[in-house]
Amino acid sequence: MRVLVCLKQILDPDVPARDFQIDPDARAARRGGANLVTNIFCENAVETALQFREAAGGDVKITALCYGESSAEDCLRKAMAMTVDEACLVERDGNTNPDAAAVGRVLAAAIRRLEQDGGAFDAVLVGRESGDWGVGQTGGVLAEELGRPALGFVESLQPGNGSVTLRRQTDVGIEVAEAEPPFLVTITNNEDNVPRIPKTRDVMMSYRKPLQKLSLADLELDSEEIRAGSSIFEVEEIFIPADEVECELAEGDTLEERVDQLATRIHEVVASIG
C-alpha cells in the first residue's frame, strides 16, 4: 500500500504575542523572530499514517509531500525522522500565501507525478486545517482535483480486509466508515495521534532518506496564476484586532441596588450589541 501525507510549514502559532507582526503592504504576517514549524494537524496526519502502517504490519510505504519554500525541507526531514519513508518538496517561488485552490492544483500535479513513478497512492492524508490561515479547504480542493472520494475530520485509519476503516469526528459523536482505496481524508487530532518524538537514530537516518525536489516548471504549472497563488479569494486587509476592555462597576448602596444596576446594564449592553 502507498500512503501520502501532505504537510504545510507555517509560522509558529506559539509565537509570543509581541513577536507577532503584520506586514500590511504584503497583507501577510511578518516572519520576524518567529520560528517555522510543521502545521500541527499535518503532524497528526503523519502520526496517523505511521500508526496505520504499524497496524497493517509494515507493508505500507509512506511518502510526505509539501508545497513550500526550501526551508520546508526541515518539515519533511522531521517527518522522515518520525519514520516516513520518503519525501518530496515542490518548491514555491512567488506568493507566500497561495490559496487552497492554487495549493490543491500544485499538490494534485505533484501527486500524479509521484504516482507515475511509483504507483498509485491508496490513501492521501491532509491536515484538517492550517494553524496560520485556518481556511480548511485544501483537503476538499485536492480531492476534487484528484477526482477521489474524501472524508473530513478523520482521527484514525485501521486496516481492514481490502478496505480501510476510518473513524471520524462529528458534532454528535464518532462515525465509523469503511473506505475502498483510493481515497482522501483530512485528519484531525485526538489523544492517540499526538505526533511522536523521533528516536535519535531515526533523526540521523532521516538525512539518508530520499528527498525529491520538484519545481513548478517540472510539473508544467509555471503559470502566472499559480505563482500569484490566489484564485478563490483575495486578502484585502489584514490587522491584529485590538483587544479593548472597558470596565464599569455596578453602583448602589445596598447589595440589592447593585444587583439591579448590574442586571439593567447587562440588558442595555446586550441590546446595544444587537
Partner 1 sequence: MFRVGGTVPVMDPTQATREVFWNIEYTWLVYVLMVPTLAVFGWGFWLKIRRWRSGQPALRFDRPGERLQLFLRNAVGQGRTIKRRYAGLFHTLVYTGFIVLFLATTVVAIHHDTPLHIMKGHFYLIFQSLIVDIFGLFVLVGVALAAIRRWISKPKLLVYTDEASWILVTIFVMALTGFMIEGWRIAVTDDPWAAWSPIGNLFALGSDPWMTDTAMQRGHVIIWWFHLVVAFGWIAWVPFSKMSHVFTAPLNIFTANLDGYGGSLKTIDFETAERFGINHLGDFTWKDLLDFDACTECGRCTDVCPANTVGKSLSPRDIILDLQGLMHKRGDEFLGSRAGNGNGDGGNGSGELLPIIDQKTAVSPEALFACTTCAACMEACPVHIEQMPKIVDARRYLVMEEADFPEGMMDMMNSLESRQHPFAGTQFSRVDWTEGLDIDVMAEMDDPHEAEVLMWVGCGGALVERNRNTVRATAKLLKKAGVKFAILGREESCTGDPARRVGNEFLFEMLAKGNVETMERYGVRKVVTSCPHCFNSFRNEYPHFGGSYEVYHHTQFLDQLLESGRLDGNGAGGRSNGSSTITFHDPCYLGRHNGEYDAPRNLLAQVGGARQVEMERSRNTSFCCGGGGGMAFVDEPPDQRVNQERAQEAVDTGADVVAVGCPFCATMLDDGVNARRGDRDVQVRDVAELLWDAVGDSEEAAP
**Residues of the shown chain interacting with partner 1 in the complex, contacts defined by CB under 8 A:** 12, 14, 16-19, 33, 35, 37, 196-201, 203-204
Taking the least distance from each CB to partner 1, the nearer of 37 and 142 is 37
- Least separation, in Å, of the C-beta of 37 and partner 1? 5
CB of 58 to partner 1, least distance (A): 18
Do 168 and 152 contact (CB within 8 A), yes or no? yes
Beta bridge partner(s), residue 187? 127, 154
Question: Would you state the cell numbers that stand for residue 62, as one nine-digit string?
Answer: 509512506
Of the two residues 16 and 274, which places its CB atom closer to partner 1 in the complex? 16
- Contact (Cβ atoms closer than 8 angstroms) between residue 49 and residue 2: no
Q: Which of 56, 101, 80 is nearest to 7 (CA)?
A: 80
Report which residue type is found at 84. Answer: V
**Least spacing, CB of residue 200 vs partner 1, in Å:** 4
CB of 136 to partner 1, least distance (A): 23
Shortest distance, position 74 Cβ to partner 1, whole Å:
9
Question: Smaller CB distance to partner 1: residue 8 or 105?
Answer: 8
Residues in CB range of 256: below 8 A, 6 or more apart: none
By C-beta, is 21 or 169 nearer to partner 1? 21
Task: Write out the H or E segment, with its range, that includes residue 170.
Answer: strand 164-170
Distance between CA atoms of 126 and 108, rounded to whole angstroms?
Answer: 12
Q: What are 11's strand-pairing partners?
A: 36
Q: Minimum Å distance from CB 191 to partner 1?
A: 11
Name which of 68 and 198 has its Cβ closer to partner 1: 198
Three-state SS at 256: helix
Q: Return the number of the residue (24 or 33) whose C-beta is nearest partner 1.
A: 33
| Cβ–Cβ under 8 Å, residues 81 and 24 | no
- Give the chain's length: 274
